[in-house]
Amino acid sequence: MTTFPDTPTLALARDLIARASVTPEDAGCLELIAARLAPLGFELERIDTGGVSNLWARRGSARPVLCFAGHTDVVPTGPLDAWHSPPFEPTIRDGLLYGRGAADMKTSLAAFVTAIEAFVAAHPDHAGSIALLLTSDEEGVATHGTVKVVEALAARGERLDWCVVGEPTSVNTLGDMIKNGRRGSLSGTLRVRGVQGHVAYPHLARNPVHQLAPALAELAAVQWDQGNEFFPPTTWQVSNIRAGTGATNIIPGECEVLFNFRFASVSTAESLQARTHEILDRHGLDYELDWNLSGKPFITGRGRLVAAVSAAIRASCGVEAELSTTGGTSDGRFIADICDEVVECGPVNATIHKVNECVALDAIEPLSSIYRRTLEGLLLNPPN
């Protein structure tokens, strides 16, 4: 077995990866992190709900507040025989650290901790406050994790000034991309009712697939908005459609369609719902439509946080970061309710959720440097 180099962030990342914290299990990761934070003067609060482990940790009581946010849970491993080494035995091979969660996102969690340790050691009397918001329910349904911590903080009037989420955002090399927002996600379950009958007697039936088809074509062709500087235009996609009994001689009595909007901040869930209903109503359909809003869009402009993280990447990696809002949802959508500036910054995401997930060894300590320099840029020169 390859010997692990004695670097602080790598050592902690290894310890975290070795814990099989498949959603919603935490497997002791929060206790490990809390043990590192307590000697630094952090107040530690567990906000566990619904079988999910959540930690809110804060050092200081003053504003501004810089929060690091992330998750200890990982997705399932997939077939074990497809892994070149056991997924929960962190292994170094060919300049890479392998293990489930290496990129998403236990290396980021380790980098949070070592960055804070280095910053507090150098600046014990820093301005403002440092916080961590960690959950074991990001990769799952995300109903008892970050959203519950945010609700608890909001209920007692606590707000954050800046938040860095450690999601793996880099594409080719560490720091080449920052997520400064995410699109919203709005799903619909549409059921169009017809009248079942024999295909040889269509005049005695009403085919819901035939009735729905023109409306689907119109929905697919709509330009919902133009997007903006940070967001591409809103998209609408059918993800599933089914009807009938499987027989070839029966006109179905109902057609069900599952669809999803990924929408820019220039649209709202309410406006998209209203336009969808208008189209369906105009086509005279007999239908039911159930909606599920799993995430609102959020955006952080070119302010203090984007500038500080970009400068930290430049100094640590010699890279100019691109701002992007691509990809799926993240817990940033919840944090944005109590924080005006939220960005995501983390390792290269090429292997996340795959077998043989890994992170480059030479990116691990620089990631800690990015987070430490972000602390310096914001809390050593706080706004007036």
In the set 25, 138, 341, 344, the catalytic residue is: 138
Strand partners for 242: 256
266, 228 Cβ separation under 8 angstroms: yes
What is the rounded CA–CA span in Å between residue 363 and residue 357?
Answer: 15
Tokens 């955002």 found at: 169
Helices 269-282 & 208-221 angle (0-180, nearest 10): 140
Q: How far is CA 222 from CA 146, 182, 216, 272, 275, in A?
A: 34, 22, 10, 11, 10
Token duo for residue 381:
């020169």
* Residue of 89, 84, 107 whose CA lies nearest to 99: 89
What is the rounded CA–CA span in Å between residue 172 and residue 150?
Answer: 32
Amino acid at 193: R
H or E element at residue 240 = strand 235-243
Helices 107-122 & 8-17 angle (0-180, nearest 10): 140
173, 313 Cβ separation under 8 angstroms: no
In the set 73, 331, 344, 357, the catalytic residue is: 73
H or E element at residue 127 = none
Residue 138 annotated as catalytic: yes
What is the rounded CA–CA span in Å between residue 141 and residue 294?
Answer: 10
Burial 59-88 (b: 16+ CB within 10 A, else e): bbeeebbbbbbbbbbbbebeeeeebeeebb
Strand partners for 184: 263
Residue 362 annotated as catalytic: no
Give catalytic residue positions. Answer: 73, 138
